Structure 1
Amino acid sequence: MDTQVADNLLGSLLDGRYRIRGRVARGGMATVYTATDERLERTVAIKIIHTGRATDPQFVERFTDEAKTVARLTHPNVVAVYDQGNHNGLPYLVMEYVRGRTLRDLLAERRRLSPIEALAVLEQMLSAIATAHRAGLVHRDVKPENVLIAEAPGGSAELVDAVVKVADFGLARAVAASADDGSGQLMATVAYVAPELVTSGVADPRSDVYAAGIVLFEMLTGRVPYDGDRPVDIAWQHVDRDVPPPSRFVPGLPPVTDDLVARATRRDPALRPTDAGAMLAEVQQAREVIIAAAARARPSAQPTMVVGQVRPSDRPSWARLPSPGPATRGRPAPQQQQQYPDEDPTLVERARDAYARVKGSPRGRMALTASLVVLALLVLVGGWWLGFGRYEAAPKLTGLDRASAEALARKAGFTAHFEQGRFSEEIAKDTVLEQNPPPGEKVVKGSDIDLTLSLGPERYQVPDIVGKTWELAVVDLSAVKLQPVKGAGQYSDTVPANTVIAVQPTVGTELKPGDKVTLILSKGKAPLTVPNLVGQDQGVARTTLEGMGLKVAITFQKSDKPNGQVIAQDPVDGSGVEKGQTITLTVSENQTSFAMPDVMNWGCGDAKRQLESMNLGVQVDGQMGESGWVRDMDPKPGTMVNQGQQVVIRCRVV
């Protein structure tokens, strides 16, 4: 059994009819799923509004009204809306499922399109938008993400043959209405927003024309005209600046494409085409100019043959404006050629004579009968082939690994086509989870069988986030569906505050989606700084530390330093610590040390002899040598000294 823990809507049945099969995309307002309409047995797309929007009554009401309006739009280039409903308080739309990809995906792959391809896509976009304009509906959010490139009719790989469909009519308008709180919030994608939407928030069909012009600019150049650090900066550039010509970024583009972009993106709406239908007419003319120029530039290898005049009406119906009607009234219809039975009497008579001769001869009657039998057999065999013979039962491929499934499908005369895989806790990786059509169903020989492979258990490694701030660590963990949790903080002398010091479990550990990862964050340097205590007497060092509110631990170590002198400390000087923290002092343990005797006011000679008798090296400091009296000494009396240590006495004459 397949387990999906990332989205609890997967597998749900909406209104007892729509079974959610998979998630296609997630946007700022809604999530799109594929589903099976179990009543009509067809695949549909379902857009379910996010919880934050569903709690706004004004949005829900406007969303329902707009859905009804969009459902009345019937056009091959408009993503059809079939149904509307509510599931657990979340409004949803049931729409036509378009097998293909978005224009954004296409531009991400190819970066930019040729002028002919760009205009072919734009023609169909404008044809769809023109239908909405004629119905009094403004899209308000024309952008590559809302343009779907369906598979081309007949399987052609050429982009100019592909079918383009526009989605999300009316959704942006519903959102804008619910957000209209007087704050002047701009409800549009800033890269494609018309100037009047920025300044006044009012949109009409010319706003869609402006956005379509920006989309054409992006298709030709691979970029949008403006960028900036903040969305508001980009939006105001549409108000303050003219859109540059595409040829500035891609030299060699036909001038007619520069003219189209300039006409569509005038900052003054009155200077643009009045609606998508008017712009469509200009795009069709521009496309014909480019095709004609290419034909003139192409060398002819064969004699030119006139095969007929190509007219705008020869375009497919989805790329053509509707007939204006009144303009064609009164135009004479082409005369139909009348046929008369006596127009070729000789041919008719010959056919009658031939039939009479066949019937009048026994051999002829036999040949006619045989012909009829053969014809009947052909009809029967052909009917059997069309009705039964060309079908074959789909083999059972579920449970097989990828290579075995491909081999068995090929052996049975089918082609295995692998869809996007799904995670499964039960089924091993690269094993077939599902197939369409299912095993045993009769399908045409040689057709495709769509297979869904298991991706194995859904697991994600804990990313290396040590050294990153909390905010960046949260982004990295969310990207792999893991839940960040703050652990107990730690002071650090080297790691800045709010930075990850360690994670539990450790980096590289594999976890299930939703598992928690504890982040140990730095609290920065501790409030107290440890002083340098090395070289001090342990009593002095203890007094200093306890005066700072710190605890002291003493360890002894044999050394040649004076007995009781601090020779090391942990933590080292300059470290940050908290009140109550223990500082460990390592103190010299030297049995050969003793207190410096007091020889002050002794005669210098006597003092020297006394100190030398104690195995100390004595240096006499004085102009009179050993004469005079001791007035100063280093080290001072009582200071711990070692045998053999050099001491100084300073002598003066009284």
Structure 2
Amino acid sequence: MARKIGSRYTANQILGRGSAGTVWLGEGPEGPVAIKLLREDLASDQELVGRFVQERTALLGLEHPNVVSVRDLVVDGNDLALVMDLVRGTDLRTRLDRDRRLAPEAAVAIVADIADGLAAAHAAGVVHRDVKPENVLLDMQGPLGPGGSHPALLTDFGVAKLIDSPRRTRATKIIGTPDYLAPEIVEGLPPRAAVDIYALATVLYELLAGFTPFGGGHPGAVLRRHVTETVAPLPGIPDELWQLLVQCLAKAPASRLRASELGTRLRELLPLVTGMPPLDVDEPDAEPAEDEAPAAEEAAPQGERVRRRGAVPLVPGAKPADSNRDTHTSMRVPAPDELAGGARGTARVPRPAGAPRPGSARHRAAARRRRVALGVAAVVLAAAAGVGAWLATSEDDAGATPQDTNNTAPATP
């Protein structure tokens, strides 16, 4: 059912939902638009509405071919909405869900586009703070780029900053998606432009590998890995590309490249990955939550991975978010002793392609087969040993003399 948004726009059809609100296909004075209607509880927050209006100039002034432009901000009664350019295509998460991973050439080209968009935003003093595949749109009507990639645009600028008010999150909360959070955010430091570079490098790793470098398992374990572990190597990519990834995933923000530098370097590396097939690696083993039942693995079809990237609350008793595509997940900042308690060294190492995950149904079945095989081998060996001993005894008995079988010397007359 169509609904009016302010006096100039009409929302006609729901395109998608997230934790911050609902995206509608709409119509405005200049034609079709996308309208992000924020949740009613956000619209009723007067402090948030004030921040919304304050950010109007910055958001409306951000224009770049790789950024989904905000055309208008609407504050009307209980409606709080961002009116944006309509992109005819899909988001990068949907592409990953379909293909699992991309060929390196397409992955590098997409991330280079997003780096260019971030460079323009950072130059304007705007930090995105929630770079992830869900917030990258692929323009299916645009010209194809390297590796058959569609033009990539970054969306949802300003939403994280709007929602992350001091009263809403306080100093003990962090806003973001666990897999893509820079270490400095986990440690409670204010977000700067470098957090977007870290998140974008995480996206590139995920496009190449099919999984994020520090993800998997409970969000508490994910946050700890961001702070305490180094990224595990990805076999099969050029060393120059790997070194670029390592630099942008550095724990120290000052060690990372700037967005403009990252975009330039990625395009310079495109010839090295031209024609390369997608990598053939499997997701490494996750650290399961203590109360995580193995039934999920048992129920999954053989060969399928059980994804555990939903928003699990770090605060006991808190309700998890209602979507696995959350734009924002509010979490408690871990204490220093919690972070220090994690394993230090290299993060989870990718498993060889096709190898079963320890603890999975496939892994347990393989273990049972090994135990049965070992048991059979033990029985065969024992039987062979028994037969050998019997034959040896029989041969000794056949060739023995009476003196041989009596250890008592005859009496002397």
TM-score past 0.5 threshold:
yes
Q: Identity percentage over the alignment?
A: 32
The answer to whether 1:278 aligns with 2:258 is no
**Which of 138, 150, 156 is the equivalent residue of 1:168?**
156
Conserved 8 A contact 1:152-1:158 = no
The answer to whether 1:193 aligns with 2:181 is yes
Which residue identity lines up with residue 11 of structure 1 in the other structure?
A
Give, in whole Å, the separation in 1 of the partners of 2:213 and 2:56: 32
What is aligned with 2:322? none
Report the alpha carbon displacement of residue 18 of structure 1 after superposing the two structures with TM: 1.4
Give, in whole Å, the separation in 1 of the partners of 2:16 and 2:142: 25
Conserved 8 A contact 2:11-2:26 = yes
Aligned runs of 1:431-446 on 2, under 5 Å? Answer: none
Which residue identity lines up with residue 35 of structure 1 in the other structure?
G
Match of 2:2, SS state, is: coil
What is aligned with 1:108? 97
TM-score by length of 2: 0.63
What is aligned with 1:31? 22
Q: Deviations over 1:621-643 (max 9, x none)?
A: xxxxxxxxxxxxxxxxxxxxxxx
What is aligned with 1:204? 192
Report the alpha carbon displacement of residue 153 of structure 1 after superposing the two structures with TM: 2.9
Match of 1:187, SS state, is: strand
TM-score by length of 1: 0.41
Match of 1:73, SS state, is: coil
**Which of 109, 113, 116 is the equivalent residue of 1:120?**
109
* Structure 1 unmatched ranges of 5 or more: 1-9, 295-654
Report the alpha carbon displacement of residue 158 of structure 1 after superposing the two structures with TM: 7.3
**Which of 241, 245, 256 is the equivalent residue of 2:240?**
256
Report the alpha carbon displacement of residue 285 of structure 1 after superposing the two structures with TM: 1.9
Give, in whole Å, the separation in 2 of the partners of 1:102 and 1:228: 22
Conserved 8 A contact 1:56-1:178 = no
Query: What is the CA RMSD across the aligned residues, in angstroms?
Result: 2.1
Q: Deviations over 1:532-572 (max 9, x none)?
A: xxxxxxxxxxxxxxxxxxxxxxxxxxxxxxxxxxxxxxxxx
The answer to whether 1:217 aligns with 2:205 is yes
Which residue identity lines up with residue 103 of structure 2 in the other structure?
S
What is aligned with 2:58? 69
Give, in whole Å, the separation in 1 of the partners of 2:139 and 2:163: 27
As a proportion of its length, which structure holds more helix?
2
Give, in whole Å, the separation in 1 of the partners of 2:105 and 2:99: 15
Report the alpha carbon displacement of residue 157 of structure 1 after superposing the two structures with TM: 9.3
Closer, same or farther: CA 159–168 of 1 in aligned 2, 3 Å: farther
Which residue identity lines up with residue 287 of structure 1 in the other structure?
L
Aligned runs of 1:470-619 on 2, under 5 Å? Answer: none
Conserved 8 A contact 2:186-2:223 = yes
**Which of 211, 214, 222 is the equivalent residue of 1:226?**
214
Give, in whole Å, the separation in 1 of the partners of 2:25 and 2:166: 27
Report the alpha carbon displacement of residue 130 of structure 1 after superposing the two structures with TM: 0.4
Match of 1:21, SS state, is: strand
Conserved 8 A contact 2:138-2:151 = yes
Give, in whole Å, the separation in 2 of the partners of 1:158 and 1:24: 28
Conserved 8 A contact 2:22-2:39 = yes
Conserved 8 A contact 2:63-2:69 = yes
Conserved 8 A contact 1:142-1:208 = yes
Q: Say which structure, 1 or 2, has more relative contact order (CA 8 Å, 6+ apart).
A: 2
What is aligned with 2:270? 287
Report the alpha carbon displacement of residue 168 of structure 1 after superposing the two structures with TM: 0.8
What is aligned with 2:9? 18
The answer to whether 1:265 aligns with 2:242 is no
Report the alpha carbon displacement of residue 286 of structure 1 after superposing the two structures with TM: 1.8
Q: Deviations over 1:233-290 (max 9, x none)?
A: 211210111122232xxxx2222222121111001112111x2112112212222443
Q: Deviations over 1:78-114 (max 9, x none)?
A: 1011111124322101100101000000011111011
Which residue identity lines up with residue 260 of structure 2 in the other structure?
G
What is aligned with 2:137? 148
What is aligned with 1:93? 82
What is aligned with 1:439? none
Aligned runs of 1:51-62 on 2, under 5 Å? Answer: 51-62=40-51
Conserved 8 A contact 1:152-1:161 = no
Which residue identity lines up with residue 189 of structure 2 in the other structure?
G
The answer to whether 1:182 aligns with 2:170 is yes
Conserved 8 A contact 2:106-2:149 = no
Which residue identity lines up with residue 40 of structure 2 in the other structure?
T
Which residue identity lines up with residue 182 of structure 2 in the other structure?
A
Give, in whole Å, the separation in 2 of the partners of 1:158 and 1:258: 19
Give, in whole Å, the separation in 2 of the partners of 1:25 and 1:145: 11
Report the alpha carbon displacement of residue 131 of structure 1 after superposing the two structures with TM: 0.2
Q: Deviations over 1:289-341 (max 9, x none)?
A: 434x98xxxxxxxxxxxxxxxxxxxxxxxxxxxxxxxxxxxxxxxxxxxxxxx
Which residue identity lines up with residue 185 of structure 1 in the other structure?
K
Closer, same or farther: CA 73–183 of 1 in aligned 2, 3 Å: closer
Conserved 8 A contact 2:24-2:34 = yes
Which residue identity lines up with residue 65 of structure 1 in the other structure?
Q
Conserved 8 A contact 1:36-1:44 = yes
Report the alpha carbon displacement of residue 152 of structure 1 after superposing the two structures with TM: 4.4
Report the alpha carbon displacement of residue 176 of structure 1 after superposing the two structures with TM: 1.5
Q: Deviations over 1:334-361 (max 9, x none)?
A: xxxxxxxxxxxxxxxxxxxxxxxxxxxx
Give, in whole Å, the separation in 2 of the partners of 1:159 and 1:53: 41
Aligned runs of 1:282-321 on 2, under 5 Å? Answer: 282-291=265-274
Conserved 8 A contact 1:121-1:160 = no
Give, in whole Å, the separation in 1 of the partners of 2:35 and 2:246: 37
What is aligned with 1:523? none
The answer to whether 1:138 aligns with 2:127 is yes
* Structure 2 unmatched ranges of 5 or more: 277-413
Closer, same or farther: CA 229–253 of 1 in aligned 2, 3 Å: closer
Which residue identity lines up with residue 281 of structure 1 in the other structure?
T
Report the alpha carbon displacement of residue 201 of structure 1 after superposing the two structures with TM: 3.5
Match of 1:207, SS state, is: helix
Conserved 8 A contact 2:65-2:153 = yes
Which residue identity lines up with residue 83 of structure 1 in the other structure?
D
Q: Deviations over 1:105-124 (max 9, x none)?
A: 00111110111100110110
Give, in whole Å, the separation in 2 of the partners of 1:159 and 1:170: 31
Match of 1:186, SS state, is: strand
Report the alpha carbon displacement of residue 32 of structure 1 after superposing the two structures with TM: 0.6
Give, in whole Å, the separation in 2 of the partners of 1:29 and 1:196: 24
